[in-house]
Structure 1
Amino acid sequence: MPPTSRPDPPGLLRLIEWYRGSARDLPWRRPAFHDEFGAWGTLVSEFMLQQTPVTRVIPHLEAWLTRWPTPRALAAASPAEVLQQWSNLGYPRRALWLHRAAIEVSDRHDGVVPRDVDALLRLSGIGDYTARAVAVFAYGDRHPVVDTNTRRVLARAVLGQAQPGAPSRTDLDLMSSLLPEQDEDAATFNAAAMELGATVCVSRAPRCDSCPVRDSCAWVAAGRPDTGDVRRRQAAFEGSDRQARGAALRTLRQAAPEAVPLASVLREWPDALQRDRAIDSLIADGLAEADGELLSLPR
């Protein structure tokens, strides 16, 4: 349940004014982007932004939408083409999920990304955050949108905690209780909370002196107590299964559309068991196909 007491809402609503004057100029925030690509552009950007820094996403997004400016265009592509275009963006299963979602939008919704949150949730690879983000940022509907950055802002400004706890439904309930009544203001407030968490209310070194809601922040008022970092830390990439998977997939992308001998994939990898595990996991996830002693991107 949301707390019974919280900072004065007008204090948090200063975020809207701050956002309109201080937000980063990102492609998916420009009117021309929405005029050209509509909700499809928003959907693609949200897929790419999952666990990936903005600076890495921008060139990939522009190239992707130049090649596939509509769901129908992407639906007509092969999985191999999709994985090649995804390149080194990371978490390549997102590319296959986006491809499947494009097919579903084409088949079920006449090529138009749906507006309804429940309809969006029925598309491949779309969870609660992405569905609400599309409904709000593409269509202007009034829903709470909560990502990691938003949760950190809520934890500090409202709950007085240094870091948010585990994600839960209460995050949406709390954000919903703070949204302005007007749809446009509510959409801006959602974006502003994310922007604040991404650029000012950052995890390890928050810039409280430049925060527009400092005067109403519960964490600042409490003396910025250290409530512990409950985030799960990601394992090191170097020498990991993730690194082996990425190296194997890069080999297949470089060879596509041709297959490569299975024995040549990661031939020099120092851990033979990890090599085999990486290749097996690519096949299991639909990111690669084995045909006898050959391995390729999915066709």
Structure 2
Amino acid sequence: MTIADTVVDWYHENKRDLPWRRHGFTPWGTLVSEFMLQQTPVARVIPRLDEWLTRWPTPADLAAVPPGEAVRAWKSLGYPRRALWLHACAVAITERHDGVVPEDVDALLALPGIGDYTARAVAVFAYGNRHPVVDTNIRRVIARAIDGQGEPGPPSAKRDLVAMETLLPAGRPAAAAFNAGMMELGAIVCVARTPRCDECPLREVCAWRLAGSPPYDGPRKTVQKKYEGSDRQVRGLILAELRASHIPVTPGEIAGVWPDAVQRERALAGLLADGLAVETPDGYVLP
């Protein structure tokens, strides 16, 4: 039995019941979920995804409202520029593709805010096309099971996609299940800090486990700075004020969200530059 066969069998027996895996889930829903899942845990995404798709079940529905409504509905998911990109994406799909999410990877890549991972994920998980899909979880499983390393090295799209393509089954349904299975394996078993190796379906062939699970000593990605006290936190506080109001938020009200005036002004300038806030004669509003 190949690694792919083993992972696919394990996936069918152990996969979590997630909205985007259910029969009848739309390509638009898949695209929205992929935007939301970037750097955000599944548990936080599910309720917001349900709210979003209830309100805007098609790209045309979202495209018909101002982008600020998307930012308002994003709430606490974090990295709110994703909401602006998703709105721009909905407009492009409505205008270029008659409101239908395309299934071709190149067509998906041409949409605003869509990178290589998201394009391939939509093509595979929404339409069942055969492409390798690589995220952080998959990279970690390949690093351990195939390369014998405790952690993956820095991302390389070309190298990572080739590594996944080498393992990918020939048939479309099996390939889609293998992509999802590798992702699921990395998310719930082959996790970063405390992998549950005894529960892993690849435990008998995992190169890292067979080598005694040596510690990783290669290059590491840059550690993100803490959120508390950062410009990101201040941006979030200002954005919360804008989301909570349907009239302009005055400079005085902005001043009350954070005591450090220099940092506060820097955060506000960043929101304006990113298009997440708009200055009016009466104050600041969502776009």
List aligned pairs for 1:88-237, cutoff 5 A: 88-168=76-156, 169-228=158-217, 230-237=220-227
User: Could you tell me which residue of structure 2 aligns to residue 240 of structure 1?
Assistant: 230
After superposition, the Cα gap between the structure-2 partners of 1:268 and 1:15, relative to the gap in structure 1 and judged at 3 Å, is closer
> Quick one: which amino acid aligns to residue 243 of structure 2?
R
Q: Give a deviation string over 1:169-192, Cα, whole Å, max 9, x none.
A: 100001001000110000000000
CA–CA separation in structure 2 for the residues paired with 1:30 and 1:245: 36
Contact persistence 1:12–1:213 (CA under 8 A):
no
> Quick one: which amino acid aligns to residue 159 of structure 2?
T
CA–CA separation in structure 1 for the residues paired with 2:228 and 2:78: 15
User: Could you tell me which residue of structure 2 aligns to residue 282 of structure 1?
Assistant: 271
CA–CA separation in structure 2 for the residues paired with 1:214 and 1:126: 35
CA–CA separation in structure 2 for the residues paired with 1:11 and 1:297: 49
User: Could you tell me which residue of structure 2 aligns to residue 3 of structure 1?
Assistant: none
The answer to whether the aligner puts 1:14 opposite 2:6 as a matched pair is: yes
> Quick one: which amino acid aligns to residue 198 of structure 2?
D
CA–CA separation in structure 1 for the residues paired with 2:5 and 2:265: 53
The count of residues paired between Structure 1 and Structure 2 equals 285
CA–CA separation in structure 1 for the residues paired with 2:266 and 2:17: 42
User: Which of residues 60, 85, 88 is equivalent to 1:72?
Assistant: 60
User: Which of residues 62, 70, 73 is equivalent to 2:50?
Assistant: 62
CA–CA separation in structure 1 for the residues paired with 2:44 and 2:170: 35
RMSD, matched Cα: 1.1
Q: Give a deviation string over 1:57-84, Cα, whole Å, max 9, x none.
A: 0000000000000010010011121111
The answer to whether the aligner puts 1:269 opposite 2:268 as a matched pair is: no
User: Could you tell me which residue of structure 1 aligns to residue 23 of structure 2?
Assistant: 31
Provide the secondary structure at the position in 1 that maps to 2:224.
coil
Structure 1 stretches of 5 or more lacking a match? 1-8
CA–CA separation in structure 2 for the residues paired with 1:261 and 1:157: 56
Structure 2 stretches of 5 or more lacking a match? none
> Quick one: which amino acid aligns to residue 216 of structure 1?
V
Structure 1 segments (4+ residues) deviating >2 Å: none
CA–CA separation in structure 1 for the residues paired with 2:3 and 2:21: 24
CA–CA separation in structure 1 for the residues paired with 2:4 and 2:199: 14
CA–CA separation in structure 2 for the residues paired with 1:81 and 1:248: 16
* TM score, norm. by length of structure 1: 0.93
Shift, 1:266, TM fit: 3.9
